[in-house]
Structure 1
């Protein structure tokens, strides 16, 4: 761990979307700011690096988002996915403050895709993906003269000693904690130490400990940081079998965007939480392009040996389902990959950390994944994680600067 940084009026812990927005907002409000980032420079940006799009409400058609997506509709969807367990005041704040988010991000240098974009009236796509958005925001940080300390992780005991008037926690949840049993699709630096330390110290808890959002990923993916490219799709073109070679689900039951999370949860619930997508020649021809090459076999007997399942069970599954018929055969090993955890801190509408006794911290703020469960509880709404990060990052930065400057 590096030595404590020099004094700044506002210290931002974490250099992803939430932290970058917080730092920019605090600096523009007149405070001196420093970012403490756990990762080395080449891995900066948190999970923003792996993002493609961000959910933004808007009252009219724009160059990067067709159609209309009213603030009221966004707020209603947030309430629905949180099943009424999300903080209503935070939901309203998020929906209303997200309305100018596209323009604000563009002013900071983020470029949105305006040509050949997937139809989505709810989300805007980053030109060049999340890595380009990360680089744009860091360029803005550098232009504003905001200092960044890389490879500087902090726990709650050290945070209490930091030389600053206000601290903004934007260091994510605990999805990279070594105790998690799933492949972590995102940054390996979100280990949850500040969050867990604050909870032990009496901070109010949001969400449910142990609850996570999962999707199906290739079992050959790296333990951390594989991102969206490791996701497995195309189950409807083949047959899903468990560790014994038995078919365990209807591959065509869910084909909308919810299929990713449903498969992730379904596989995690298996007695042995792993599966294999098996395809025949026709199924393979229909498959989308995936990151890893498929396992290939001339016949089902050879395939059973390669994927280490019982040949009789695999053959029976193929015969009964009628979904795998014509050689050659192909397979992808599948496990559950963790996108985010659903456990975090409660905050008020000024992004101040709430305590379990009902009080509110005066100089400790939080934004992003560390407080997202206060909005979504254990729910999921695509593109919203970055919206929460950007909106509450801006709020936290503004409020931290206001406190620091008196």
Structure 2
């Protein structure tokens, strides 16, 4: 029997496993995916958001606690547990030292349109390199790993963990357990149930793509909900990004994102704008656009720019539609040409000339236009014009298990003595809605380490008679 069983194979699971092993516990990690797909959604990440009161290695200037908190408060519209959020924020000030110890390297600060040189530390080689580093460290420490192991249920004695049962019937006993198996974003039927139908009677989730891993089916989360574990979060809330409509159904990751939204306009299939494209910096708003597109007819949108925007954003993997006139562009996108011309002309006439600067919240905005564009509003008047079709891309869901600072799973508000949770399975405690770049990895790193520490402590307590 192992001291600690960790169920999951991504960032939070690995942080838990490594921390528990460092605390003196013997650890077995169970990953549902095969080795080549290990790492969950963490393999698709690039960075984590970090608090710092002065320049630190790869982070410039300062990003103090209160600013981090206000950024999180704004994107979640107050749907967050402040105590847990501030716990995450504080943890990020020092976690990189521990990460480096386990082989994670960081690249020099970024600048330009991403606006994250001050707030986010980027992994050298991306999330895949981070995951590989953690697995190397885990193996070197003596952690045992099993791939292709999907857990269907847990054996519980009241709220105490006894064993995990795999789909093939294998039983894994341990003195303590950490659940870090992700949300239910890959479960299309559950997504359809959560999002329901639109006014046209269509299942909203029918046009979704899964930006993240295909292996997060939510089976363990569903089991825990059925067992009466305390839960938190809206099942329809998620990290939902507007991605290229040609993206694959699963595992498209970062490269499917369209990053020119704030530099132009976005219209639906009726050639109508429906939200302020320049509301705030893109890293603070990119994760609202999937949900916005999901609310549009047929869950489709089109990001439209002119040639002035080229070079100001990360170019997409797939080329967009290109035309010398808005009318021609509309035809290529199967949009009504008259309606799109009217939308673009109305937008152009509403633009108030200012000093355009896509690296700051500039004074280029619209007047007497609904919806307004608050920043970076310049006329679309310089051909060629470009259009990128958008669909909602789900990265991870926010419905999860309710926790407090100890990361213990709770039943009727009472903590389990030996069952803990980390990562996407509890991120809804901090993320009730919305997202700001890198905070998912911040949550997973923080609560993974807390869960691993407390699981080891629970497992190593000597029984007394």
* Greater displacement, 260-269 / 140-149: 260-269
Q: How does 1:285-364 map to 2 (within 5 A)?
A: 288-297=314-323, 302-322=328-348, 323-324=379-380, 328-355=384-411, 357-364=412-419
Point out where structure 2 has 5 or more consecutive residues left out of the alignment: 156-163, 166-170, 192-204, 349-378
Q: What whole-Å deviation, never above 9, does each CA across 1:126-149 have from its counterpart, x for those lacking one?
A: 112111111111110111121111
Q: Does 1:22 align with 2:32?
A: no
Tell me what 2:373 maps to.
none
How big is the shift at 1:236?
Answer: 4.7
How big is the shift at 1:54?
Answer: 1.0
Q: How does 1:103-122 map to 2 (within 5 A)?
A: 103-114=97-108, 120-122=117-119
Q: Does 1:204 align with 2:260?
A: no
Tell me what 1:3 maps to.
none
Structure 2 contact 75–284 (Cα < 8 Å) conserved = no
Q: What whole-Å deviation, never above 9, does each CA across 1:292-320 have from its counterpart, x for those lacking one?
A: 11123465555444322233323433444
Tell me what 2:458 maps to.
403
Q: Say if 1:184 and 1:92 are closer, same or farther in 2 by CA, change over 3 A.
A: same
* Greater displacement, 50-59 / 145-154: 50-59
In the alignment, the residues of structure 2 paired with residue 59 and residue 281 of structure 1 have an alpha-carbon distance, to the nearest angstrom, of 39
Tell me what 2:6 maps to.
12
Count of residues paired in the alignment: 399
Q: Does 1:129 align with 2:129?
A: no
Instruction: Compute the RMSD of aligned alpha carbons.
Output: 2.6
Q: Does 1:147 align with 2:141?
A: no
Tell me what 1:174 maps to.
184
| Aligned counterpart in structure 2 of residue 87 of structure 1, from 77, 81, 86 | 81
Structure 1 contact 367–396 (Cα < 8 Å) conserved = yes
How big is the shift at 1:287?
Answer: 5.9
Query: SS where residue 215 of structure 2 aligns?
Result: coil
Point out where structure 1 has 5 or more consecutive residues left out of the alignment: 1-6
Query: SS where residue 261 of structure 1 aligns?
Result: helix
In the alignment, the residues of structure 2 paired with residue 116 and residue 324 of structure 1 have an alpha-carbon distance, to the nearest angstrom, of 28
| Aligned counterpart in structure 1 of residue 244 of structure 2, from 218, 224, 234 | 218
In the alignment, the residues of structure 2 paired with residue 135 and residue 195 of structure 1 have an alpha-carbon distance, to the nearest angstrom, of 26
| Aligned counterpart in structure 1 of residue 44 of structure 2, from 37, 42, 50 | 50
Query: SS where residue 234 of structure 2 aligns?
Result: strand
The TM-score normalised by the length of structure 1 is: 0.88
How big is the shift at 1:342?
Answer: 1.8
The TM-score normalised by the length of structure 2 is: 0.78
* Greater displacement, 44-53 / 65-74: 65-74
Q: How does 1:156-305 map to 2 (within 5 A)?
A: 156-157=153-154, 159=164, 161-179=171-189, 180=191, 181=205, 182-249=208-275, 251-252=277-278, 254=280, 256-282=282-308, 288-297=314-323, 302-305=328-331
In the alignment, the residues of structure 2 paired with residue 9 and residue 268 of structure 1 have an alpha-carbon distance, to the nearest angstrom, of 44
Structure 1 contact 72–95 (Cα < 8 Å) conserved = no
How big is the shift at 1:369?
Answer: 1.1
Tell me what 1:383 maps to.
438
How big is the shift at 1:88?
Answer: 4.0
